[in-house]
């Protein structure tokens, strides 16, 4: 019985340490560059346009930044390619017959508070690429552009991650 209690204590301690490390890995670094798309409104049409712009930006940013080593390098690439990024968004909106206009800005932009996977990200002004569509009154989408957390987000959301320690604890508690 004493060995079982010691084993459970070690497993619990290990699990708590791993959980804390996982939460810390989801924190956004201070030098991160974010990306944000704010749609004209919450209408289905405007939200669909937001998603199309988001997808265009994610593809473009992945191709531009895939070999980038640090945020300073990523920032220079974005600044140098801003006209090209703007042109790509403009072409997409023309193709979609979107007539509400848009504004693109790379600099320090406001982000509202966001809760994602149990973590609250504080509101504030962050270095970011911001695209505001029309009046910019709809529910926005944002993510971290560099390091490229949002460029891998879609792959990770489909996967369910399990904890080996949790599985052991579950098996042990179910065998009682």
Q: Which of 150, 175, 165, 130 has its CA nearest to residue 21?
A: 165
Contacts (Cβ under 8 Å, ≥6 apart) of 173: none
Task: Report residue 41 as tokens.
Answer: 């409104």
Higher-confidence position of 105 and 172? 105
Higher-confidence position of 171 and 93? 93
Per residue in 137-163, pLDDT (tens digit) is 999 988 887 777 664 433 333 333 334
Q: What pLDDT is recorded for position 173? A: 54
Helices 71-95, 44-65: inter-axial angle, 10-degree rounding: 140
The string over 63-85, giving b where at least 16 C-beta atoms fall within 10 Å of a residue's C-beta and e elsewhere, is ebbeebeebeebbebbeebeeeb
Mean pLDDT over residues 81-90, rounded? Answer: 97
**What are the boundaries of each domain within the chain?**
2-24+162-174, 31-148
Mean pLDDT over residues 94-105, rounded? Answer: 97
pLDDT over 50 at 66, yes or no:
yes
Decide: helix, strand or coil at residue 124.
strand
Confidence of residue 90 (pLDDT cuts 50, 70, 90): very high
pTM of the predicted protein model: 0.70
Residues in the chain: 176
Mean pLDDT over residues 83-108, rounded? Answer: 97
Angle at 51 between CA 33 and CA 121, to 5 degrees: 40
Mean pLDDT over residues 15-40, rounded? Answer: 67
Helices 2-25, 164-174: inter-axial angle, 10-degree rounding: 140
């Amino acid at each position: 019985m004493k060995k079982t209690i010691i084993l459970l204590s070690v497993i619990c301690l290990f699990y708590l340490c791993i959980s804390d490390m996982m939460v810390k890995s989801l924190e956004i670094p201070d030098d991160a560059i974010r990306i944000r798309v704010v749609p004209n409104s919450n209408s289905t049409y405007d939200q669909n346009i937001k998603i199309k712009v988001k997808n265009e930006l994610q593809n473009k940013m992945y191709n531009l930044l895939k070999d980038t080593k640090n945020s300073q390098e990523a920032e220079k690439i974005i600044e140098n390619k801003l006209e090209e990024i703007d042109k790509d968004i403009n072409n997409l909106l023309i193709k979609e017959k979107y007539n509400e206009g848009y504004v693109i800005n790379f600099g320090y932009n406001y982000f509202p508070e966001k809760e994602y996977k149990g973590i609250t990200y504080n509101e504030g002004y962050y270095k970011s690429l911001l695209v505001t569509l029309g009046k910019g009154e709809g529910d926005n989408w944002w993510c971290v552009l560099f390091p490229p957390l949002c460029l891998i987000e879609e792959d990770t959301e489909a996967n369910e991650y399990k904890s080996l320690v949790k599985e052991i604890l579950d098996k042990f508690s179910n065998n009682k």
